[in-house]
Structure 1
């Protein structure tokens, strides 16, 4: 059978072991090599004459570029017969890209490895797929992505790594695209947490909160994993948030939310219902004290009045007992100072 000028399909049949009747070509020797993700065909013609090249046996006008997702093999006769690089007589002469590699263009000599964060898991791929959220890869030419470990997550596609869950959040499975908030009454005290721990007695946490909180003053909580605290009841007091309320003493006051009992002042006051009132001894002391205070005020007023009178008398004495100098008036002795009426 002569392959000159025949269709590419018939030429392919010639390559698969059929004898050539052309004097310049003998039946070709077909070497089949099993490769990863494909089979490579190497056809070696046996030349009887070196004057006519074997490629002249084919119509090179039928050469076409290898499709995207493949590369041409310049070691095969089907591609060597074509003058332009990247062209082959039929698609079977093109090698598909292996997993982890791709080629978006036609007629290329080699495939490209997928970038970090991308992958392709089938042969002959014209493109690579991004790693979905919850997975990653950190190498080129990968045919798969690795899931994030428990306690780690990634919410983006084409990730090259996973991030640890922050405080207050957790992930208890592989491939988390986001970490969950710890439920009410529980918390995560470390990053990359796989689960949550319950709040201790004396503490609480609402579902929207991140960490457990200590109960406020006048509140208590004696159970594990609670979302809220209880107010200390009336007639009880709560010195610590993690203990049961304590009964209020009979002579003390303990309104709702008390931290400690309130007592009336001993001796002077006594509890009467919900208030403190004066004891009898306090009333007697107030009466006596009031009388003593009033008497003291009277004595002070009298003493101040007496001192005022004494000072006035001392001031008038020199005027009444003043000695008058002797003088003469028409030869008659008389006082030198005039005498005023009223003295």
Structure 2
């Protein structure tokens, strides 16, 4: 309470209601939710939940006052002369008949001085010649008795009237000196030449002056008031609430003149001279209203609205209660609203992932995020720049981030919602890539998120290890096939794997050296995968690691297969080779 929180507010006391306003409501969103300090009170600080106090005596507070003694003439002022302002005054009050105030800042009126007339709203005036005044009101004006006169104004006692001198003719009754036979034409009346009795001012008029000589000298009742009887010295009162009274009205409802019942789309508080149009943000579809109702949420109401349903809130905007015009509350950039007649900021949808909404008041997204950039959510730029260390959509820092430039090791095609890891077999060596930079170099493998064509970190890839080969674009090392081996790293193709050496065999894939020498009784040519595949021939012998069968030397023989040695010939026998 005492504060309001627009979109993006960081803490509850960031936006206090300003001086001259207050609020005891929760959930306020705009400064317009803060209420003006009511008439007769003042609000001298920010963040108030109730008015500070009552307006000081001698001053009036018209509404929105920031001090107990306002002097700006808008929210209040010092009480002017001829008026008085008691404590808590909302507007200056005229000193009533019989009292006066000739200074500013009066909290109460003083009694009228003797010999003077003090009429409401008028300057002090001396008691007229030919009269004496016991008090300060019109009723206190008494003519000098018959046989007396008074050529001097300002008399306060009958004893001040002088006896008429013999043989002197004094003018009467409408002259400056009275013998008591006539007198000044009283207030509320007019007296043409030769009048013996005063004539009352007619309906719709009044007169607060003496000596009025014509009916036209009676004042027309001012607009907003009525004069409901003849002979009035002041208007009967203000026009009745719910009605309006043009000048000259003789009825409190203005029905006898061009006034009358307040029409639709207008309101008429007490004392209305003309119907007041419902201000923007309000409406009324009824007649005779003293105030207009707030416009319904989902709609807006221009000035003088009688039917709010004619003004649905357009897409791209939202309209809370009291919205004044169609574009008053646009959806902020980064958001859009495809629906009409919505009534809160929550109706504005964040721009979906992979897209951006570049300005306010959008009813659809502006387009896809530009290639080389990614748009997480609520992006307002095709190339967002507020996030440069993306991990995943559930962990954004700051949490309000909308996207950023694609990082090394990633690529972002048009419409990307989050960076795409560089795929296995490829590398991404720069920021802002729409596609991978190219395939992994021969002799190397790229697992994922590689930033170099020849990675060596062991995480995103590495040089091809011994026993394997890596073609261009490899995502993992390929083992040298059985019958081959490689003791060197960085082989660029299968052809670079060495055939197994003669006399040895390579039984499995991915060998860095031959499995073992060929078994005795067998021989292994280059590229052999099995040590028992080729048995030693008759007439030959095959010791371990034989690359070919060896002929038995002279004097020896071998009549069996799979032998590692030859047998010496017996005496008397000859072995022919």
Q: Decide which structure has greater strand share.
A: 1
- Name which structure has the greater RCO, CA cutoff 8 Å, separation 6+: 1
Q: Decide which structure has greater helix share.
A: 1
TM category (shorter chain) comes to 0.3 to 0.5
Q: TM-score, normalised by structure 2?
A: 0.30
Q: Rg bigger for which structure? A: 1
